[in-house]
Amino acid sequence: MEDNQEEVLEIFTQDGVLITTAPATYIHYLNNVGTLLIVEYPNSNLTRCIEWKPLDLTIDSDVQDQEWTVVSTVERRRTYSGSLPVDVNRSKHLKINMNDIKSFRVSHKNQKLTFRDGKGDNVCSFIFQHGNCDGLIAVLKGILKTIVSRRDKHVYCILDDIKNPERQQLDKSFAELNLFQEQSSAYVWKFVKNFPNRPYEATMEAFSKITDIVYRGPEHRLMDSEVHNILHRSLEAIENNTTTHSHDEYELIAHVPRLPALKEYPRGRPLSFEQWKALQDSEGQVEDVEAVKLVIFRGGISSNVRKEVWKYLLDYYRWKCSHAEQQNLIKQRNEEYFIMKLQWRSMTKIQEDNFTDYRERKSLIEKDVNRTDRTLDYFAGDNNPNLQVLYDILMTYAMYNFDLGYVQGMSDLLSPILYLMNNEVEAFWCFVGFMNKVSSNFDMDQAGMKEQLQHLHTLTAFYDPEFANYLYKHDSANMFFCFRWLLVWFKRELSQQDVMRLWEVLWTDLPCQNFHLLICVAILDTEKNILMENNYGFTEILKHINDLSGNIDISTVISKAEGMYNQIVDAEHLTDAVRLIIGLPILGNTSIVDSKEASPDISDLTTNGDTDEVSYENALTHSFL
Amino acid sequence: MAKTYDYLFKLLLIGDSGVGKTCVLFRFSEDAFNTTFISTIGEDTAGQERFRTITTAYYRGAMGIMLVYDITNEKSFENIKNWIRNIEENASSDVEKMLLGNKCELEDKRQVSKERGEQLAVEYGIKFIETSAKASIRVEEAFFTLARDIKANTEKKLVCIWIIFVFLINLYIIVNHCE
Ligand SMILES: Nc1nc2c(ncn2[C@@H]2O[C@H](COP(=O)(O)OP(=O)(O)OP(=O)(O)O)[C@@H](O)[C@H]2O)c(=O)[nH]1
Ligand SMILES: [Mg+2]
């Protein structure tokens, strides 16, 4: 291309932008609506400009007075790049050299943007009628080095210009801090050591040291590019941290619906032997299954009938069977078990050598059997015969369900069952019943686990948007830290007795399906203050949650979860997404959460986590898998 | 966090289920060997293939990764390549890596020769050590070597690290991991 044909690169364009302040030469454009552009002229020393061109029809007089009250009902139209020859009318554009801009201020719910010259004057300001200026700010941050002003948190100072006074001083401060010389390491590591205990204070302390120097001394030193980059990154990070706290200028438009108050649901008495017998007729059939389940949900099962009742809950026995039919069933199941057991027991060495899948499965089971509840008397010690039974049941299950086979965690699910039944065949069939309820936890593609984690996030977001938003901002919206809870139903967090009490409650499917997710929500609700006060990120949250093992009072958690369930179902704003999870009929009038379009990068940039409204929306819209 | 530390690193142990990751860590932190351990679920040392999609979330912020195989288990050695690929896809590229052949006291059951371990390490340009958590062989050495490499690496980029610490708040403590 010939050189005299000036090339222009449009970095950003946005329509529907009203201009409310402009330099004197462009005064005729005031209060017109048009397109805002960020352009680059690669062949010119006038490298980057903010441009604005009028939309011919313009003057939207309605807008003049109301300014920013035009809310984002209009669909956004944006493009982020594109190279084209200069259009002839370009000369008519309002054009401001980026070098003349020293700062910009965002206001009116991110719908107004004002560029300033650094001498106290506004160069131009724009109102974004289509959506807001988040996209533009993202682009500006990409091409300029910016820092949030210490005096006004809505103001971004541009550091790109070498002559910028704030920039000069920052240069100097880094030189004085001597971060690149040996002594600095002591300071940095001291800081790092302090950090885990009081991350926020440590950060602020460190930065006050920098900023103290920043505003002293006029001497000018140049940074080398490496220092400059690092400084830039650090400033960006501060900026992202601090902007999340600024929202006082904005007004809340949406009202965040509140949940009804949390009520107390004290636990009841466990199902007793007498109650159990009373609920069976002379033939041994259980008439009112729901009544039995309700008692169990409220208070669990007494240890003297637990073994028998579990067989019903886990579909080994049938609720509506007479004693005679039951006996018949037991006999059948017994035979079936030994047929399957014989299948793997009679595998020859050569067969095994030629059967990689089987061999691998066997080796996994061997390894895990040796690592299952060995601290319990029932499984303790070398050559404990119960370990052999555990092994035999898992091997037989692998034959019973070869597609699933054996996956880590299954031995945890079997252990309490075997401990209670103390009988190989009964334990096997009860284990089958349990696995039928949770086999999706062990999907090859982890789909079942992913879905539960996502549901857990949806519930958390509904119950506590602020916390869900916190998790989102700390890379934890994936809820992976609850993985172990869900995979083995809290087996690793509770004592053998407590896990049995929890499981029997969960097996009743009362008060709703997926009640185990509400158990998670209840525990998280108890822990969230610690997580948030310490500003824990993904790793610390994971560690904290793992460390809860052994410190969870399961009765308290169950009754709290029941209370939360009632809060949720009584909520006026109950969404279909939540209804689906807890098994209520959907209404079809609320949208099921899905907002793949909402770009987390951009919303993260400007949302202000301290307000309920924004956290509520964020929490609802951030999908993660 | 009662203990005090000179350095804080987030470090991961990765390898097939049962190669001895938890034992290696326990040997290092408590100088003991315990046969009553449970398999690891939902932590950053989990090994079973099925959970790989989940464990990748834990790579974030890791400064060092120990790749562990069991010298008595050929498969666990072959899988190291898969684990490395997994790391390359999910962890930051400058994370320090190290290869560990564990259970090296079980000489009579050995399926993977020391030479093959060394060769693989050379191939990937990482260090290699054979250890035994049970017999307490070179476990400390392995951790200190990796920690030293991370430290050397970090001092080169001191300020960068400092900034990461400040803002990503993603610390982990190598010596305080075991339950
Ligand atoms: N002989 C011998 N056995 C070991 C050694 N290290 C671990 N083991 C045994 O190997 C088995 C597995 O050890 P773990 O440390 O639990 O394995 P892991 O890699 O953490 O496995 P996952 O948690 O399932 O990923 C246990 O039975 C240990 O006793 C070792 O150095 N020598
Ligand atoms: Mg482990």
3-state helix/strand/coil string of chain B: CCCCCCCCCCEEEECCCCCCHHHHHHHHHHCCCCCCCCCCCCCCCCCCHHHHHHHHHHHCCCCEEEEEEECCCHHHHHHHHHHHHHHHHHCCCCCEEEEEEECCCCHHHCCCCHHHHHHHHHHHCCEEEECECCCCECHHHHHHHHHHHHHHHHHHCHHHHHHHHHHHCCCCCHHHCCC
User: Does A571 have pLDDT greater than 80?
Assistant: yes
Q: Which of residues 460-489 of A touch B (CB under 8 A)?
A: 475, 478, 480-481, 483-485, 487-488
Residue B178 near residue B23 (C-beta atoms within 8 A) = no
Mutate to test the pocket of ligand 1, among A363, A367, A370 (most ligand atoms within 8 A of CB): A367
Q: Tokens 């525990």 label which residue?
A: A523
The model's confidence at residue B32, banded by pLDDT at 50, 70 and 90, is confident
Point out the ligand 1 atom lying closest to the alpha carbon of residue B102.
31
For ligand 1, the distance from its centroid to the CA atom of residue B18, given in whole angstroms, is: 5
Give the residue, A327 or B40, on which the prediction is more confident: A327
Ligand 1: which residue has its CA nearest to atom 1? B103
Minimum-distance CB partner of B41 among A230, A374, A487: A487
User: Does B35 have pLDDT greater than 80?
Assistant: no
B159 contacts A230? CB cut-off 8 A: yes
User: By three-state DSSP, how is residue A284 classified?
Assistant: coil
Alpha-carbon gap, residue A484 to A490, rounded angstroms:
7
The percentage of residues in chain A with a pLDDT greater than 70, rounded to a whole number, is 72
Range with the largest mean pLDDT of A124-133, A438-447, B94-103: B94-103
Residue A15 parent element (H or E): strand A7-21
φ and ψ of A334, to 5 deg? -60, -50
Ligand 1: which residue has its CA nearest to atom 32? B103
User: Does A415 have pLDDT greater than 80?
Assistant: yes
Q: For the segment A290-345, what is each residue's pLDDT rounded down to a tens digit?
A: 999 999 999 999 999 999 999 999 999 999 988 889 999 999 999 999 999 999 99
The model's confidence at residue A440, banded by pLDDT at 50, 70 and 90, is very high
User: What integer pLDDT is reported at residue A54 of this predicted model?
Assistant: 83
User: By three-state DSSP, how is residue A536 classified?
Assistant: coil
User: Does A360 have pLDDT greater than 70?
Assistant: yes
The model's confidence at residue B102, banded by pLDDT at 50, 70 and 90, is very high
Nearest 5°: the CA angle A411, A415, A420 is 155
Give the residue, A10 or B112, on which the prediction is more confident: B112
Alpha-carbon gap, residue B57 to A478, rounded angstroms:
9
Mean pLDDT, rounded, for A283-292: 91
Mean pLDDT, rounded, for A32-38: 87
Q: For the segment B119-141, what is each residue's pLDDT rounded down to a tens digit?
A: 999 999 999 999 999 999 999 89
Residue B15 near residue B21 (C-beta atoms within 8 A) = yes
Ligand 1: which residue has its CA nearest to atom 10? B20
First to last CA, chain B: 14
The nearest alpha carbon in chain A to B38 belongs to A371
B75 contacts A542? CB cut-off 8 A: no
For ligand 1, the distance from its centroid to the CA atom of residue B46, given in whole angstroms, is: 12
Residue A297 near residue A508 (C-beta atoms within 8 A) = yes
The model's confidence at residue A143, banded by pLDDT at 50, 70 and 90, is confident
Q: For the segment A460-501, what is each residue's pLDDT rounded down to a tens digit?
A: 999 999 999 999 999 899 999 999 999 999 999 999 999 999
Give the residue, A237 or A560, on which the prediction is more confident: A560
The model's confidence at residue A411, banded by pLDDT at 50, 70 and 90, is very high
User: Does A217 have pLDDT greater than 90?
Assistant: no
The model's confidence at residue B44, banded by pLDDT at 50, 70 and 90, is low
Structure tokens at B3: 């203990």
> Best of B34, B39, B151, B156 to disrupt the A interface by mutation (most A CBs within 10 Å)?
B39
φ and ψ of A128, to 5 deg? -95, 105
Please provide the average confidence, as pLDDT, over all residues in chain B: 77
First to last CA, chain A: 46
User: Does A613 have pLDDT greater than 90?
Assistant: no
Alpha-carbon gap, residue A614 to A246, rounded angstroms:
12
The nearest alpha carbon in chain A to B40 belongs to A408
- Ligand with minimal distance to B48 CA: 1
Mean pLDDT, rounded, for A560-573: 96
Point out the ligand 1 atom lying closest to the alpha carbon of residue B15.
19
User: Does A253 have pLDDT greater than 50?
Assistant: no
> Best of A356, A404, A408, A534 to disrupt the B interface by mutation (most B CBs within 10 Å)?
A408
Chain A residues close to B46, C-beta within 8 Å:
408
Chain A residues close to B168, C-beta within 8 Å:
537
User: What integer pLDDT is reported at residue A116 of this predicted model?
Assistant: 87
Mean pLDDT, rounded, for A437-456: 91
Give the residue, A180 or B153, on which the prediction is more confident: B153
The nearest alpha carbon in chain B to A182 belongs to B155
Q: Residues 6 or more apart from A330 whose CB is under 8 A from it?
A: none
Structure tokens at A98: 């980026």
The nearest alpha carbon in chain A to B36 belongs to A374
The model's confidence at residue A56, banded by pLDDT at 50, 70 and 90, is low
Amino acid at B145: T
Mean pLDDT, rounded, for A191-199: 43
φ and ψ of A50, to 5 deg? -95, 130
Q: How far is CA A435 from the centre of its chain?
A: 28
User: What integer pLDDT is reported at residue B37 of this predicted model?
Assistant: 74
Ligand 1: which residue has its CA nearest to atom 13? B20
Judged by average pLDDT, the poorest of A66-80, A177-191, A590-604 is: A66-80
Minimum-distance CB partner of A480 among B54, B169, B179: B54
Judged by average pLDDT, the poorest of A509-523, A604-618, B79-93 is: A604-618
User: What integer pLDDT is reported at residue A401 of this predicted model?
Assistant: 95
Mean pLDDT, rounded, for B35-56: 66
φ and ψ of A348, to 5 deg? -85, 170
User: Does B1 have pLDDT greater than 50?
Assistant: no
The model's confidence at residue A591, banded by pLDDT at 50, 70 and 90, is very low
Nearest 5°: the CA angle B139, B143, B147 is 170
Q: State chain B's maximal CA–CA distance in angstroms.
A: 50
**How far off is chain B from A402, nearest CA to CA, in Å?**
16
Q: Is B87 exposed, middle or buried (0-12, 13-18, 19+ CB in 10 A)?
A: buried
User: Does B175 have pLDDT greater than 90?
Assistant: no
User: Does A427 have pLDDT greater than 80?
Assistant: yes
User: Does A270 have pLDDT greater than 50?
Assistant: yes
φ and ψ of A145, to 5 deg? -95, 120
Residue A285 near residue A326 (C-beta atoms within 8 A) = no
User: What integer pLDDT is reported at residue B112 of this predicted model?
Assistant: 97
User: What integer pLDDT is reported at residue A424 of this predicted model?
Assistant: 98
pTM: 0.66
DSSP A286: B
Neighbours of A25 (CB within 10 A): 9
Give the residue, B179 or A336, on which the prediction is more confident: A336
Size of interface A-B (CB pairs under 8 A): 147
Mutate to test the pocket of ligand 1, among B12, B17, B22 (most ligand atoms within 8 A of CB): B22
Point out the ligand 1 atom lying closest to the alpha carbon of residue B131.
31
Strand pairing category for A122-128 and A7-21: antiparallel
Range with the largest mean pLDDT of A89-103, A120-134, A372-386, B152-166: A372-386
User: Does A209 have pLDDT greater than 80?
Assistant: no
Alpha-carbon gap, residue A357 to B149, rounded angstroms:
39
User: What integer pLDDT is reported at residue A160 of this predicted model?
Assistant: 58
User: Does A180 have pLDDT greater than 70?
Assistant: no
Structure tokens at B75: 């498969």
Mark B102-141 as b/e (b = at least 16 C-beta within 10 Å). Answer: bbbbeeeebebeeeebeebbeeeebbbbbbbbbeebebee
DSSP A586: P
Nearest CA among A244, A175, A240, A230 for reference residue B162: A230
φ and ψ of B106, to 5 deg? -85, 60
For ligand 1, the distance from its centroid to the CA atom of residue B29, given in whole angstroms, is: 15
Chain A residues close to B5, C-beta within 8 Å:
193
**How far off is chain B from A410, nearest CA to CA, in Å?**
11
Range with the largest mean pLDDT of A225-234, A350-359, B82-91, B110-119: B110-119
User: What integer pLDDT is reported at residue B49 of this predicted model?
Assistant: 66
Q: Tokens 């400059």 label which residue?
A: A228
Residue A85 parent element (H or E): strand A83-85
Reported ipTM: the value is 0.79
The percentage of residues in chain A with a pLDDT greater than 90, rounded to a whole number, is 46
The model's confidence at residue B156, banded by pLDDT at 50, 70 and 90, is low
A191 contacts B61? CB cut-off 8 A: no
Judge whether A378 is closer than 8 Å to chain B, CB to CB: no
User: What integer pLDDT is reported at residue A256 of this predicted model?
Assistant: 63
Minimum-distance CB partner of B163 among A195, A237, A537: A237
DSSP A269: P
- Give residue ranges with CB within 6 A of ligand 1: A 367, 370-371; B 15, 17-23, 35, 37, 39-40, 45-47, 102-103, 105-106, 132-134
User: What integer pLDDT is reported at residue A622 of this predicted model?
Assistant: 46
Alpha-carbon gap, residue A156 to A102, rounded angstroms:
9
